[in-house]
Chains A and B, each alone.
Chain A
């Protein structure tokens, strides 16, 4: 039986929202739209202003420093008694992996806590759960409930889902929520809002963001290959759930066009932005104005205007 939830039901999911480094500076439209649809669907997101970097960038330099950085954030969430919900897939992956390691290894946990307490006056007992905002939509709100909330007809839209890497992998850490070689959750969420989720050749490929700092040319070449395939399928937009993928496909789209003397003009939207449009929320309240590649044609197709 599906629980019928009102906006203020005690069964509503409660999380503390983990923004990470990229969202507050480079992807405010993701944050705005996620908070807006969360409010509408009764997902309570509280904030911890002291959250810092998840630790992901340090994993390659010093594994122990990475675990300490993750623990620092866990300690804050644990004190508040709330699970962590991330918007960034890399944050979700890095925090989930660190958490798994800390929870499994008692000796490690003891050592981390000694240092954490002595250096920063904090402790982490291993009680925090980590998830991704899109997983909350998929698992706790569910496709059925989302379908009931639809107010705008998006059936004319052809959308290309991009799962990215850290949303499904490593699958063992995520408890095999879905097959990383054939994920379906984002396709289902796209279909739930009435749009068509289109298949394309390298749907599961990485955005290249992981090597952007090391070698821009390589990163752009990886991102380009996906833009090529999506253009061939004439998608109205690409749908993302990670702010770093957005840096590759949207912020760097012009640069890729320049390097490869081509033109995509492919709108890149975060899933909560599309969900919000489907729910009848004004584009202005979903940060659509901040999208660098203007989705003017897409909005026109669904009879909406950018604010």
Chain B
């Protein structure tokens, strides 16, 4: 049961102000997204129509705290088919961006941030890879960069305090 006193009527406006979330209020719940969704096909846990409905109703905490917002594969099937141009994969990212800001960050996602921060890539390139590349006559790759770490630090990602200029 949903208690109306727990709903946050401003949640949809918060999402609509986020890049990618602009069109959330256009959704008329036709279900085209859920029907063609490859994730929905294999698990009941992900249902884009339901997530959008929950967000529009104002179930802020239930949405931000959920695992299901992270299950969108960004395949863009629904993006192409949505008759209301809700741009669902971008909308899911908008919701996730809010979730991250409010401290709901799944550990596997946090790990990706750590890897990117340390190496500038999701997968580390070491002397081993570059030696292999040399043997295969492939050009070398810069092994790590501090640039991504700097971007994260400046934007206060990584769960650290935002660094003031």
Contacts and interface: CB of A to CB of B under 8 A. Distances in A.
B38 A205 contact: yes
Contacts of B43: 218, 221
A60 B151 contact: no
A214 interface: yes
B73 A61 contact: no
Contacts of B79: 169-170
A218 B122 CA distance: 21
Contacts of B70: 60, 211, 214
B4 interface: no
Interface in B99-121: 100, 105-106, 108-109, 111-113, 116, 120-121
A213 B112 contact: yes
Interface residues of A, number: 53
A68 B116 CA distance: 13
A69 interface: yes
A44 B42 CA distance: 43
A60 B152 CA distance: 14
Contacts of A22: 122-123
Given A28-B132, A57-B112, A69-B148, A63 B20 contact: yes
Given A50-B145, A169-B80, A205-B38, A24 B157 contact: no
Interface of B: 18-20, 38-39, 41-43, 45-46, 67, 70-77, 79-80, 92-94, 96-97, 100, 105-106, 108-109, 111-113, 116, 120-125, 129, 132-133, 136, 138-142, 145, 147-148, 150-152, 154-155, 157
13 contacts: A20-B121, A25-B125, A57-B112, A57-B122, A60-B92, A60-B100, A63-B18, A63-B20, A64-B155, A65-B155, A119-B151, A181-B80, A209-B73
Given A24-B141, A165-B74, 7 more contacts: A61-B96, A62-B100, A63-B97, A165-B75, A206-B38, A213-B112, A225-B42
